[in-house]
């Protein structure tokens, strides 16, 4: 006997699983905090100091690694192109020179934002 699941129920279950998987660990900040960090890095008033970078970089890395795990899951909502582009950032270390470090953190923030956009795009 074959049954067909209601697409709305399937979407709700997937959304709940994504949320729990993304936020189940205490070391992962809540989504609102992630968006605040993205605004701090990418917003129109972003004027980051070395201290800001030292504070924001580990948090964005934590979220980035967690999002990559989620993105690898079947039906995550993240396209293969986006996931592959995001994984390329893993090979690049944080530069020591301040201007290059700022560029790296901005690329990291854009990548995190892109992954979140795709993951959250189909939530009910």
2 located within any domain: no
Domain range enclosing 90: 7-120
| Predicted confidence (pLDDT) per residue in 93-123, tens digit | 888 888 898 999 999 999 999 998 888 876 5
108 located within any domain: yes
Structurally, the chain folds into a number of domains equal to 1
- The DSSP letter of residue 49 is -
74 located within any domain: yes
SS3 6: coil
Q: Report how far residue 67's alpha carbon sits from residue 83's, in angstroms, rounded to the nearest whole number.
A: 9
**pTM, entire model:** 0.72
68 located within any domain: yes
| Predicted confidence (pLDDT) per residue in 1-32, tens digit | 455 556 666 666 666 666 665 555 555 556 77
94 located within any domain: yes
């Amino acid at each position: 006997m074959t049954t067909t699941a209601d697409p709305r129920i399937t979407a709700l279950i997937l959304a709940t699983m994504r949320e729990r998987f993304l936020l189940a660990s205490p070391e992962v900040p809540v989504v609102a905090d992630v968006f605040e960090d993205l605004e701090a890095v990418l917003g129109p008033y972003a004027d980051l100091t070395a201290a800001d970078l030292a504070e924001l970089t580990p948090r964005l890395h934590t979220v980035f690694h967690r999002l990559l795990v989620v993105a690898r899951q079947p039906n995550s909502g993240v396209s293969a192109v986006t996931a592959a582009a995001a994984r390329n950032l893993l090979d690049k270390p944080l530069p020591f020179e301040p201007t290059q470090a700022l560029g790296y953190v901005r690329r990291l923030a854009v990548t995190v934002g892109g992954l979140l956009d795709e993951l959250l795009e189909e939530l009910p």
